[in-house]
Structure 1
Amino acid sequence: MTLVNLSEEGDAELIRRSRDDPEQFATLFDRYAQQIHLYVARRLGSQAADDIVAETFLAAFRRRASYDPAVPMARPWLYGIATKLIAKHRRSEERYLRALSRTGVDPLPEPIADTVTARVAAQSEERRLAGALAALSQGDRDVLLLVAWEDMSLEEAAQTLGVPAGTARSRLHRARKKIKAAIPMMEGNR
């Protein structure tokens, strides 16, 4: 009997094994749920994140038989599912960003003692950034946020969104250009 070190096991093999033993899929949840939750919370707010993460992993579990075993990491696949679910909530996302643009209040809780001074100083910049994000097309915003918030490479973002790498590159370039034009005084944009 061969013992498998689950911390080193690739996602593709884990998904393959979960076809016969569904409980194995829980390891995939353990690996990625927190990252996806943060991504979704940033996009839609923390209340919607719980539902979207649950829907993401339920959809992934149901589709696990069609997972391409040649792709060793499931991260882009899972983010792709989450991003498509976010698209269904697009109007809510735009309302969220527009409200943030108007009020400057980010509903994600943070430790007050660590952030009060920085938030007061950055409040107007955050509002302008939220307004600029809301003004982007959905495709441009998706690529920008996957790269900026989730630290994905362009290739991972392209795979996540199901578009060619060149399309992702164009969207990212266009998004950055629009953000820089909308917020000329932000740090590093002077």
Structure 2
Amino acid sequence: METDGELIAASCADPRAFAAVFDRHYDAIAAFLRRRLERALADELASETFLQAFDGRARFDRARADARPWLYGIAANLLRGHRRSEERRLRAYARAAVPAGEAGAYDEVEARLDAAASGRALATALASLGPGERDALLLHAWTDLSYEQIAEALEIPVGTVRSRLHRARGIVRELLAASGEAVGEPTTAGGLTPAREENR
């Protein structure tokens, strides 16, 4: 199978080759954006991510086999224009009761209430992070990028990724502990999962 670098190189001569990069990575980029923005805006930014990637494909380092860090970086840059929207969404979620339609059968209500409370505490903690810490933490928790790939995506040194993650984890742990919630990181479902090891 051709690497992303090979496909992007080929797309400079034959633009149709870029479709394989789109097919390979669109769902992951869109899913990442949907966790941070309302679906319609997330889908719009996912499309814009690939438009910008296509327009800038001649500058892509073709020696890189995986285009995901580059694509996540473009998506993160686009998100910077929507920081207030993301923070409002997190704070609104933190204030919300159990979402409409979430209450099910009686024996599920208690579990759903517990999950909603955990989600609210986590949303409050995430909203309290600075943009750099939040970007690093969510790329770490919601993608399978290595520290080096997160550094590439955010165009910062690996040491900065480590320090941002360290600060973000400390803030989230402190706020979740204060709220009585378990300590961990965001999962794809918006809940908590144990933090991954830092020595990757």
Question: Same fold judged by TM-score > 0.5?
Answer: yes
> What does the per-residue CA deviation read over 1:47-91, in whole Å, with 9 as the maximum and x for residues that have no partner?
211100110000000000111112221000000000000111111
> What does the per-residue CA deviation read over 1:7-40, in whole Å, with 9 as the maximum and x for residues that have no partner?
x110000000001111110100111000011100
Change (3 A) 1:71 1:116: farther
In 1, the alpha carbon distance for the partners of 2:97 and 2:140 equals 23
2:142 to 140, 149, 152: 149
Change (3 A) 1:29 1:106: farther
Structure 1 letter corresponding to 2:79: I
In 1, the alpha carbon distance for the partners of 2:173 and 2:135 equals 17
TM-score under structure 2 normalisation? 0.83
In 2, the alpha carbon distance for the partners of 1:10 and 1:21 equals 16
SS of 2:36 mapped into structure 1:
helix
What RMSD, in angstroms, separates the aligned Cα atoms of the two structures? Answer: 2.1
CA apart distance, 1:167: 0.2
Q: Does 1:34 align with 2:49?
A: no
Q: Does 1:169 align with 2:169?
A: no
Change (3 A) 1:106 1:94: farther
Q: Quote the residue 2:198 is aligned against.
A: none
> What does the per-residue CA deviation read over 1:85-105, in whole Å, with 9 as the maximum and x for residues that have no partner?
011111111111110111156
Q: Quote the residue 1:124 is aligned against.
A: 117
CA apart distance, 1:45: 2.1
TM-score under structure 1 normalisation? 0.87
In 2, the alpha carbon distance for the partners of 1:140 and 1:51 equals 24
Q: Does 1:186 align with 2:170?
A: no
1:45 to 34, 38, 54: 38
Contact kept in structure 1, 2:176 and 2:183, CA below 8 Å: no
Q: Does 1:58 align with 2:46?
A: no
In 2, the alpha carbon distance for the partners of 1:147 and 1:10 equals 23
Farther off after superposition, 160-169 or 145-154: 145-154
Farther off after superposition, 18-27 or 180-189: 180-189
CA apart distance, 1:154: 1.4
Change (3 A) 1:116 1:9: farther
1:104-123 matches, cutoff 5 A: 104=97, 118-123=111-116
Q: Quote the residue 2:91 is aligned against.
A: 98
In 2, the alpha carbon distance for the partners of 1:161 and 1:116 equals 40
In 1, the alpha carbon distance for the partners of 2:99 and 2:45 equals 19
Structure 2 letter corresponding to 1:138: P
Contact kept in structure 2, 1:104 and 1:126, CA below 8 Å: no
Structure 2 letter corresponding to 1:19: C
